[in-house]
Homo-oligomer: A and B are copies of this chain.
Amino acid sequence: MTVSSFIPPKRTLMGPGPSDVPERVLQALSRPTIGHLDPEFIRLMDETKFLLQQAFHTKNQLTIPVSAPGSAGMETCFANLLEPGDKAIVCQNGVFGMRMRENVERMGANAIMVEDEWGTAVDVEKVEQALKANPDAKLLAFVHAETSTGVESDVKALCALAHQYDCLSLVDAVTSVGGIALKVDEWGVDAVYTGTQKCLSSTPGISPVSFSDAAVEVIKNRHTKVQSWFLDLNLVMGYWGEGAKRAYHHTAPINPLYGLHEALLSLHEEGNENAWQRHRHHHNGLKAGLEAMGLEFAVQESIRLPQLNAVSIPDGIDDAQVRGRLLNDYSLELGAGLGKFAGNLWRIGLMGASACEENVSLCVTALDEVLSDMGAAIEKGAGPAAVLKHYA
């Protein structure tokens, strides 16, 4: 095999993540590497914690980036909060609820499942029944923004219920932070994890997490050791703790943390509320274009995520063929359906820096051209016109 330097193509990323990474974040990545115990790196850690607190709307002391992707952030939460024999109520309305179940069971804990149809939100009433029926449950876990279906569930209501029944709340916010409202302290979230490559528009590979004081107490007072040494927060806290007395645990991913710091700074400069509004605004532009073209959303409007749009594929149109042409002719990436939605829908991401007029316009124009060419029953030209009107 002959190998040379890898020069990636320039894509427009409108799938379920990674999203477009702004030049300022890419530039931050390539700054000189320093040691993970360097005083300057410790300053970076402190600033990153502060910026993460702002992004999560929390004052939680234990707010840190886990040195691995979102799936490891999920595992960090379950592995630290659960012990063998514990009971957790897990809501499943897409791929990531299933993954939560896998996590719970691999901890030797019991998962009580509350299942809802893919494409619908977590049913608050069913959750209350499960909480009533399981007074010994230790935590309630659910996904805020289900990346596999484009559905938002009601964090505020679910966390309130969890506390009413003396449970901790654990929220998957991988696709929500930075894109839609999430107020960790105000809404009573006890444990939360997110990803860097969605609405934060940094590169994938790091998972910010945050834990309430109540959750930290549970972690500090475990009867058994956390089954993962790498993810054991009792050890990680010593590394990401306050002041100069940091205990070596593992070597942090220095340069990716430069990138995350820059991406969080960008969000901080814009302001969370402004970022949420921006996602909504461009979602409306995309919606105008797609609907004018005759395409339909797969999720009802009241629970639709602005940043992750599940759009039904018109009858007779081949999913892979369309996405292949978009990639080859427009260098545009859309997401495929996952699991039972494979082949039936596209997932169109408007996350972070990808939530902009240029991307909406490219996406609608490209779909208009490709679908027309392939003989789909769409109204040719109407989509791009509606987009122009939205932004006029």
Is the pair A8, B34 in contact by a Cβ cutoff of 8 Å?
yes
B256 touches A205 (CB 8 A): yes
Instruction: Name which residue of chain B comes closest to A24, CB basis.
Output: B5
Knowing A3-B47, A47-B6, A261-B6, say if A204 contacts B71 (CB, 8 Å). Answer: no
A30–B24 Cα gap in the complex (Å)? 10
- Which residues of B are found within 8 Å of A70, using beta-carbon distances? 250-251
Asked if B256 and A255 make an inter-chain contact with CB atoms under 8 angstroms apart, the answer reads yes
A259 at the interface (CB under 8 A from B): yes
Contact of A256 among B3, B43, B99, B253 (CB under 8 A): B253
- Whether A4 touches B265, Cβ cut-off 8 Å, given contacts A13-B34, A34-B11, A34-B13, is yes
When each residue 201-237 of chain A gets 1 if its CB lies under 8 Å from chain B and 0 otherwise, what string results? 0011110000000000000000001111110000000
State the Cβ distance, A243 to closest chain B Cβ, in Å: 15
CB nearest neighbor in B for A108:
B227
CA distance A238 to B328 in the complex (A): 25
Q: A248-B338, A262-B6, A265-B5 are in contact. Are A32 and B21 (CB under 8 A)?
A: yes
Extra pairs beyond A205-B205, A227-B227, A248-B338 (19, CB < 8 Å):
A5-B265, A6-B47, A8-B31, A8-B40, A8-B41, A9-B32, A17-B251, A18-B251, A26-B32, A39-B327, A67-B68, A71-B230, A72-B230, A72-B250, A74-B230, A106-B227, A197-B254, A204-B253, A205-B251
- Are A30 and B26 in touch, CB under 8 angstroms? yes
Residue in B15, B107, B203, B268 whose beta carbon sits within 8 Å of that of A253 in the complex: B203
Q: How far is the CB of A210 from chain B (nearest CB, A)?
A: 17
8 sample A-B contacts, Cβ–Cβ < 8 Å, listed by A number: A1-B47, A18-B36, A21-B33, A72-B230, A107-B227, A197-B251, A197-B254, A205-B253
Q: How far is the CA of A252 from the CA of B8 in the complex (A)?
A: 15
Question: Within 8 Å of chain B (Cβ to Cβ): is A27?
Answer: yes
In Å, the complex CA distance between A89 and B253 comes to 31
Residues of A whose CB lies within 8 Å of any CB of B are 1, 3-11, 13, 15, 17-18, 20-21, 24, 26-36, 38-41, 43-44, 47, 50-51, 67-72, 74-75, 99, 102-103, 105-107, 195, 197, 203-206, 225-230, 248-256, 258-259, 261-262, 265, 268, 327, 333, 338
Contact A203 B9 (CB under 8 A): no
Known: A30-B29, A36-B204, A72-B68. A102 touches B229 (CB 8 A): yes
**10 closest A-B pairs by CB:** A205-B253, A30-B30, A68-B68, A71-B250, A203-B255, A204-B251, A26-B30, A21-B33, A29-B29, A1-B50
Let me know if B18 and A26 touch, CB within 8 A: no
The answer, among B21, B33, B262, for a CB contact under 8 Å with A18, is B33
Task: Please give, as numbers and ranges, the residues of chain B lying within 8 Å of A67 by CB-CB distance.
Answer: 68-69, 72, 205
Residues of B within 8 A of A35 (CB): 11, 13, 15, 18, 333
In the docked arrangement, what's the CA distance between A72 and B74, Å? 15
Residues of chain B with a CB closer than 8 A to A30's CB: 26-27, 29-30
Which of A69, A103, A261, A327 has the most chain B CB within a 10 Å cutoff?
A69
Whether the Cβ atoms of A75 and B33 lie closer than 8 Å is no
Q: Which of B3, B29, B195 contacts A251 (CB 8 A)?
A: B195
Name the residue among A31, A33, A206 with the largest chain B CB count within 10 angstroms.
A33
A82 to chain B, nearest CB (A): 12
Give CA–CA (A5, B5) in the complex, Å.
Answer: 29
A228 touches B36 (CB 8 A): no
Are A40 and B265 also in contact (CB < 8 A) when A71-B229, A205-B67, A251-B70 are?
no
Q: Are B106 and A225 in contact (CB under 8 A)?
A: yes
Complex Cα gap A47–B5 (Å)? 10
Give the nearest-CB partner of A47 in chain B.
B3
